[in-house]
Structure 1
Amino acid sequence: MLPPTPLYVALAAALIFFSSLHTPAAAADGGTLAAGQALAAGGKLVSRSGKFALGFFQFRQTLPGSGKGGGAATNSTVSSPGWYLGVWFNKIPVCTPVWIANRERPITESELKVAQLRISRDGNKLIVTNNTSTDESPIWSSAVTNSTTNASSVHAVLMNTGNLALLPETQSTAVPTSSYLWQSFDYPTDVGLPGAKIGWNKLAGGNYFSRQFISKKSLVDPSPGSYSINIDSNGFTQLTTRNAPIVKYWSWTSGRLEELVLALTALINMDPRTKGLLVPDYMDTADEVYFTYSITNESASVFVPIDITGQLKLMLWSESKQSWETIYAQPSDFCLTFAVCGPFTVCNGNSGSGTSSFCGCMETFSQTSPRDWELSDLTGGCARRTPLDCKASNRSGTSSGSTDVFHPIAQVTLPYNPRGIEGVAAQSDCAEACLGDCNCTAYSYSNGKCSVWHGDLLNVNQADSNAFSSQDVLYLRLAKSDFQSLNRTNKRTPTVAITASVVGSGIVVLMLVFMIWRNRVKWCNAPLHGIQDSGGGIIAFKYTDLCCATKNFSDRLGGGGFGSVFKGLLGDSTAIAVKRLDDARQGEKQFRAEVSSIGMIQHINLVKLFCFCCEGDKRLLVYEHVVNGSLDAHLFQSNATVLNWTRRYKIAIGVARGLCYLHQSCRECIIHCDIKPENILLDASFAPKIADFGMAVFVGRDFSRVLTTFRGTAGYLAPEWLSGIPITRKSMFIALAIRKLHEGDLQSLVDPQLQEDLNLEEAERLCKVAFWCIQDNECDRPTMVDVVRVLEGLQELDMPPMPRLLAAITEHADVELM
């Protein structure tokens, strides 16, 4: 299974104890630090429950080594630039800091010998100092409290919540947090524990006090990194970059914390690991706005970090696995974080399972700092190997004298901050405009529009590696020598990488029906199930709201095995399709399958799930209404609109892209298990949208989970699931189609309604990839990434052999189709 990348699971931080450390005359006792006492390296405060500890520690990360000279690889250990005072989970074997006092000022080895945490002599603050005789120039100091309390009575307590608080002696630890003189929960680093707040409150004079989480810089450097989560002055919860350019890459769009809490509660309770464990809450007044959450079982260990790569995660400790598990992540796709890979990189969610493996340098570029990449600090990105040829003579606006050339990068989202060039009539003029500017690093030309980029290229994503779909081409400016080297490297023709695909053949018959002669084969028509959909960006709705939206479920669109689908309208007049699940047991399974699989992702070729309802025994799913219905109606019903070849081929590509996204780009691989024409819906422009995720399952990206339960519809299953299923005319037709492909006679198989509207090159391409998908051996079948590339004409396939199963059938059967 694709392992998640939780922020602290990868940390190999350890507490190191020294026998030669300075020991103060009065030491801290248990979880309390009284005035006059000190906490030195080697000691720690432990909360009364034993769950949290406070002390000095150092981050350590083990990096895999590479063998030199054929020898065995030797791992290396990298340590943080110094030592830190912080709070961590005390009973968990993986050192997991949740608060750091001095994240911007590490303690050196020499300072550590005399460093100590104590209360200042005036009782107004906590300080870390290496000077026992004065409070001046501390290494770290908490905010001044301006307390009038007797300094000798003030003490610090590490609460059972992990909150470090400064209290007057007369108060117990059970008093409201508003009475604390100071608390670490008001100054979070990159983690929110249960009971901590994110938000702001208004102070005297109209100023605001804000609490936000800021990511770490790397696995061994906890200093403030590139991303933060906060609630702005308008009440919008948002994830943003911290360094220029400042970009908001996710926000709770409604701006209402009440709706956010409602949605999170539903999501938390749908996962059996967290059901009933966490209770989100909020405050939204003119003077205070914040979000928080509480825990119902104090023995459980939970925290919410914003990790190095800008994802906000919900982490839960698994005792059985002895590791942290990611329950939820936002954004759900690694590459959706703005500029996550740094400059001159391409982010590709298909490319691996580790943080840096999703990122790759643009061709002929190299990692600016390979060591930083190993430590998950990708901010440096990549750099050129060879400087551009931009002499002073061609700074005047002409490209004369420059030998630079352009290398195309296909199907990527274009970089951040393009500059439009007016008056450009052709692509060559656009290229000349870029060459004539020494600052220009790339250009794009599409539909008569010329765009250029200056300086670093940021936020370039491979199409379908996340929620984006792009046909754009970016022309990267390279030095001539790099371009020549690149051409020599690419002269070798790439072969198709054949890997396992659990349900790759489910698309085969779907592809073939775009071109078969329907009058020659009697297909078994399944009933139209209406809208059975999926999508992302979900909100929990009340049952009464859906009754109102559907006029008490009066306009029935269709129905299926698990319930009925009704048309409705949201308050903004958006047309919706509401699936009401009837069967209590099966309906609950489908509900969980659809929301957990498609509810948290979004793609142009997946039907969008707007919201859901989970009240009592009521289970409803609300999708966008797709106006042109299902594909099977257009293919098999005599009165349906005839789909021309161009539309059919685009539908095939769109379905392949949707499946590619599910298989390769989600945090966990999602297998649909029931791809068929009835579950492909067509929007107003006849773009396909995959629907009905009631049978969907999660498997690892290495397909480590084996599917053994029969799922799907006969006739659309992978060959290895055909055992016991009678051979039908469909099987014989596929065998005949393969023979026709080898004979070069695809025209005889084409739907006569297409007439002359057929691209034989595309038809052959489609048939080849379809027949490769039904090979007997899983290892011979292409991945959906390969399928998309072949259909788009970016990759070639050899002529497929006849699968052994079909060959055996045709040896003993008359394949003449009536």
Structure 2
Amino acid sequence: MQRKSPRLAILISLVSLLLCSSASAQHTLGAGSSLSVEDHARPFLVSPNATFSCGFLEAGNNAFSFSVWYTDAANKTAVWTANPDAAVNGRGSRISFRRDGGLALSGANGTTVWESKTSGSGLSISLLDSGNLVISDLSSRRTLWQSFDWPTDTLVPSQQLTKDTTLVARYFYLYYDNDNVLRLRYDSPNMSSIYWPNPDYGVFPNGRTLYNSSRIAVLDDTGVFLSSDNLRVVASDLGRPGVKRRLTIDPDGNLRIYSLDSSTGGWTVTWAAMAQACSAHGLCGRNAICVYQPSLRCLCVPGHETVDRHDWRQGCRPMYSVPNCSQAAPPEQRFKFVEVPHTDFYGYDVGYNASSDTFEHCKKLCLEMCSCAAFSYRPFEGRGVCYLKGFLYNGYTSPNFNGNIYLKVPIGFDASAQSVSARSSEGLTCNPDGPEIVQGTPDTFRASRNNAKWSYLFAFAGVLGVLDIIFIGTSWWFLSSKQSIPSSLEAGYRMVTGQFRRFTYRELKDATGNFKEELGRGGSGVVYRGVLDKGKVVAVKKLTNVAGGDEEFWAEMTLIGRINHINLVRIWGFCSQGKHKLLVYEYVENESLDRHLFDTDRTTLPWRERYRIALGTARGLAYLHHECLEWVVHCDVKPENILLTREFDAKIADFGLAKLSKRDSAAGDSMPLSHMRGTTGYMAPEWALNVPINAKVDVYSYGVVLLEMVMGCRVCDQTTAGGERLEMSQIAQALRQVVATGNVVPLVDGRLQGQFNPRQALEMVRISLSCMEDRTNRPTMDDVAKALTACDDEDEHPAYSLLLTIFPKFVANNLISTSRSSHLSSHSISHPRPAAVVVHDHYTRQQRKLDAMDPSLKFLLDEFNRRFDDHDAKWEQRFTDLNCDRSAHDVIVDCRFAELAQPSTVIDQRLADLELVWVNQKVDVTRRLSDLKVVRIQQISDERDEWVAELEVAAADINAWIPELEGVVDDLKLEGN
């Protein structure tokens, strides 16, 4: 037995090694691998350093999702999920890496719920140490798909958030907008609004910048979250080594950084975007209030009940029938108001009154306005601030808020009795499965505070006695003296109190010199230049023919007053005295676009400015259509309504024709209008078809304006040879034939003398034609802005630039002449010829010249064209290489631009962008190291298998030698004896 013990030890060691090898989790799998949901306790893949695992996670009762999570986390919080909105059944579901190279998640009935949409032979799937799930080609080591490109609600260190990716948690989105700013937005079927960074401030007051277009954000290993818009936040455990972190947008809409406690496996919040959870929009739905008692809860406003106790985003509905506004009885006999103290609702204002307004006047305005559901009133600097509310969304209550909301209810409705009855019938029950929502009355709001206050006073008086009285008196005096200072909870009033005010008619009459200097006229009024007391130059618009009394005036004033975008004209105030209705706008120095585009006596508008104006206008309209608190349709987009600043930045003006498209109206994304609006030549065809109007009418008008910026003339003035005006559809059809040739040089304004970017010109013409399609085929303004942004900062084609430098006369005679002739024809005769006819005639003349050309000259021209084509490919490759080199330094160049624009933040901006570049480089190095590690581990595994085989051969040899050795030993023993 003793002789066999070495063999037994070797055998046990080999078996143990093989068992351990087969039992260890794999980080790379080949085609044909799969995992059943019944085996959800076993991970599908584990990263090489065991930081991350992926497999099935429980998403509910008998519901599972395919996810990636931190292995050491106790609750297995997912950092990526393939099917966040479509959980699969707990029986029969399977994740499979198919032999065709696709990763697919199938349900119990075999239906594919999610797939990676990859295909090919020789593919493998790996889970890297970074948490990135990757499908790659083993032969070329090329990545075909990765989970980092499809994030759900979480970023892990080294994972980038870009312009093409978005974090989503149900109705909450973290994304980059068209202004290159990282924002949080709530977007549900009922409402949409941006709530972070603070919407009451502009981009720069929030510490952000517009000038870096790289649009990249990343969380690094030290706990720093960096964004290209100058955002830099740090976790409270900054720099602590070995800490595992994640950045998550939670179901409550807050963005937080979590750090993993290695001892307990639990997550700790180390940074949050909003210190107060009620700052997020959409938490409690319509007619509901977000409060802290002591944790976050939702309350229905008096006279309302919950729609769904398990989903507080459904909000509350009234417990009474709303009276018809057309009733003959005066509003004082039909409505009354119920006070809800220390409460406000953000947005959806239908009117604003400031300065000397009294509470009674504010109450009277809400009574007389049918669309007013409530009004907010608060004292401010000895005066009153009044807001009329059309809808009650984003409500919150805080003891520090110095204002109240007053609900308009039927005069015969007893809000207190109805609420008490509803609450008593529910009983004192707890609901562990859903959020608790109770109904509130004025007494409810007051009683909870009064009870807490008296309990606190009695307890404290018993301990401190007289000292308590002194403290209360001092505190009361301090708070009374400071009540005019707005607190951080008074969001929605800071912007208005600092920039928006009410003027008297006398003030504006004096400021404009009795309306002496006229700047322009529009369909809704005349604009005059004015100078306020402090020397501030403004534009005063005197409204005429305000239909329906004050309604249209209030709508326009409220609309412009509550939006804020760099490409939209700001409103500083208003005047409403009797028949006088005036608006006070910011003054824009360079007048409107039409005067620079169509006036031949002015300096030609350069191409770069035209492109910037087109992009700025697109971004402004995209903001109105997609990012505004309420959807806004301009209805009159034309060059006269595009104003230019001193730096030739575009600002959209004249919202007199704009209307709000209510999201809860029956029309959905359209709105009914009583009569046609807009300007002939820029109006979409649906205006004449008696169909509902939506934002696509602005898209059509923008397409016409964009084409005019390229051509430098009024497109709608094109006529036939016989003097008949051409329809826009005919012009568009002719232009499509020109675009099909790929050469739009003849269409470009001849006054530019060839100084333009041909690629941008071609893209702008294509976009304009797509905007003039049937409205179902038109793009959105958001798509247009993205398409224009994609071709921003492109240099002219190098071959074209070389030709312009070496052969300027050839270019002028053969390329620019067509454009110049087109321009002259459109400005020198009363009925200009259409551009397509000019182009066709020019091509005919050029062909005739070529046919009549001397053969030797024609040979030289053909030889030149051949050599030019040979060099064109080389220049294209060189141009691509230069673009790649330029892209590598994009962040640094953009950073330098931001430094020049903001001298006060040069150092911080420079450091932030350099740190971002360093992080990006670190990410690349980390990924390369991970790939090398995967290869090395595979090599080690192969070597280990070879070593095991050699050991087995050696063991067999040893076993064969043992009998011989035993025989030798026996012989030696015999000889010894």
Q: TM-score range by the shorter chain?
A: 0.3 to 0.5
Pair member with larger Rg: 2
Highest relative contact order (Cα 8 Å, sep 6+), 1 or 2? 1
Structure (1/2) with the larger helix percentage: 2
Q: TM-score by structure 1 length? A: 0.43
Query: TM-score under structure 2 normalisation?
Result: 0.36
